[in-house]
Structure 1
Amino acid sequence: MNCANNFNQNFDEDLWLEPLRAGRLALPIGETPEPFIDVEDVADVAAEVLARGGHSGQVYDLSGPRGLSFRAAVEISAGAAGRSIDYVELTPEVYRAELAASGYPEAAVAALDAMFAMHREGHTAVPADGVSRVLGRAPRRFEEDAKRVAASGVWSGTS
């Protein structure tokens, strides 16, 4: 099973939670779309593949239903949260410098820089059909997750 590089939960549990809380997400990605996937879809696919036969030798590329730019994902998140959150486009050099200044270890800076270089080249831009092939339904939309997360108050810092 292959997975998309970015998950909806990166915005509320991981990499971009604190920047969203602070009102500014700054990345070196441009308008290259990313088909963010909900980790629950990944778990549902894994459970189905493990519980039922007929998947031997199959490869399922997993992604969300459509590509969104990071700018669009931030706008959706801000709208759901009912507050202003800015997306700022950085050059790779400025991004690496901001990560280093924030205390990220050199290996993490290099890994994130490499991930965004791959994204800018469009390697993960096209949505895959693995979720629908395995589960017989479309993957969850980013907007669904943003509404759920916003209702929890996590982006306002009151969760």
Structure 2
Amino acid sequence: MTSTTAPSTTAVHVLGATGKTGHRVISRLEQAGVPVVGRSRRSTPPFDWQDRSTWAPAIAGATALYVAYVPDLAVDGAPEDVAELVTLARVAGVEHVVLLSGRGEANARRAELVLEESGLEWTVVRASWFMQNFSEGALRDGVLSGMVALPAGHVPEPFVDLDDVADLVVAALTDPALRGRVHEVTGPQALTFTEVAEVIATTTGREVGYLAMDPEEFRAVLTAEAGADYADMLTDLCLEVFDGRNVHPVDGVQAALGRPARSLAEFARDAAAAGAWG
């Protein structure tokens, strides 16, 4: 049973319950009969990464936490926020923390180390870029307009399906054998953004292309649209991770779950059928 209001005992608390991973994790825990509490800025009590006074009430009564940092562990101050949350978790009697991390991000690794050295039981799920960025995230508007624009050059990325990520998070929360490890997860194939656009175009019948933008031009355009903080975060993240460091797929999904990771073609088919680009 999911709660967003009542205090809980022996429950998993999902921090970021309305996020792309959070709601998937909650649904799976419910189906497995695991008591779960969703926390977000709209829950009671709320949880807001920008307001540390909300953190202790939001985790009170939890025995395990799923933590997805917003906007991204790549931003300045993220490791310090994770450190403060971990300190509060120890005081609250939390036993196990599962942290969603980003592949190839130096600041994300610093946040991972904070958790690994916390004295709590821990699991890290370190993911490549999400396929769902194209269907329910920042790149969906580009798909709908016919042109995905990003300062990512033409470097391949082994995009991962969020359903695989959520499955692994739930497995980590419910199977002690998966604790104390970094699970790095990707899709089965590295594709350039041009190739991703071609797959989506073929699947949907839409005209979808990719424009490799100049980073500073992208920063300026996004600053005007979404503000400097978000523009700097996304531009700098692209410059960091699309330098070739992440081009090789890994078998983390297979190793943890005993099945292959979903392909981008499977994702595109299912997203189209669900009306993601309707």
The answer to whether the 8 Å contact 1:2/1:62 transfers is yes
Correspondence for 2:228: 106
1:153 CA displacement: 3.3
Bigger radius of gyration, 1 or 2? Answer: 2
Correspondence for 2:212: 89
Code of the aligned partner of 2:250: A
Residue 253 of structure 2 corresponds to residue 131 of structure 1 = yes
Residue 203 of structure 2 corresponds to residue 80 of structure 1 = yes
**What is the aligned counterpart of 1:140 among 255, 262, 269?**
262
The answer to whether the 8 Å contact 1:35/1:65 transfers is yes
The answer to whether the 8 Å contact 1:81/1:151 transfers is no
The answer to whether the 8 Å contact 1:4/1:35 transfers is no
Mark the runs of 5 or more structure 2 residues left unpaired by the alignment.
Answer: 1-123
1:98 CA displacement: 1.9
Correspondence for 1:4: 127
1:115 CA displacement: 1.1
Higher strand share: 2
1:96 CA displacement: 1.1
Correspondence for 1:70: 193
The answer to whether the 8 Å contact 2:160/2:185 transfers is yes
Q: State the TM-score, normalized to the length of structure 2.
A: 0.53
1:116 CA displacement: 0.7
1:64-83 alpha-carbon deviations (Å, 9 max, x no partner): 11211111111111111112
Specify whether residues 56 and 89 from structure 1 end up closer, same or farther in structure 2 by C-alpha distance, changes over 3 A only.
Answer: closer
Correspondence for 1:24: 147
Code of the aligned partner of 1:45: L
1:115-135 alpha-carbon deviations (Å, 9 max, x no partner): 110122123222122111111
Residue 234 of structure 2 corresponds to residue 115 of structure 1 = no
Code of the aligned partner of 2:174: A
Higher helix share: 1
Mark the runs of 5 or more structure 1 residues left unpaired by the alignment.
Answer: none
The answer to whether the 8 Å contact 2:156/2:191 transfers is yes
Correspondence for 2:106: none
- Corresponding residue pairs, total: 155
Mean alpha-carbon deviation: is it higher for 142-151 or for 116-125? 116-125
How far apart, CA to CA, are the structure 2 residues paired with 1:97 and 1:105?
9
Code of the aligned partner of 2:142: P
Determine helix, strand or coil for the equivalent of 2:189.
coil
How far apart, CA to CA, are the structure 2 residues paired with 1:126 and 1:82?
29
Report % sequence identity: 35
How far apart, CA to CA, are the structure 1 residues paired with 2:183 and 2:211?
33
1:58 CA displacement: 1.9
